[in-house]
Amino acid sequence: MYARTLLFAGCLLLTGIGAIHAADFVTAKIASWNPASRTLVLDDRTEFHDIPAEIALPDNLSIGQTVTINYIGSEDGIQEILSVEVQP
pLDDT digits (tens, 9 = 90+) for 47-57: 999 999 999 99
Q: What strand order describes the sheet that includes 23-34?
A: 47-48, 39-42, 23-34, 66-74, 77-86
- For 4-33, write each residue's pLDDT tens digit: 544 455 554 544 444 456 789 999 999 999
pTM equals 0.72
How many Å apart are CA 55 and CA 77, to the nearest integer? Answer: 19
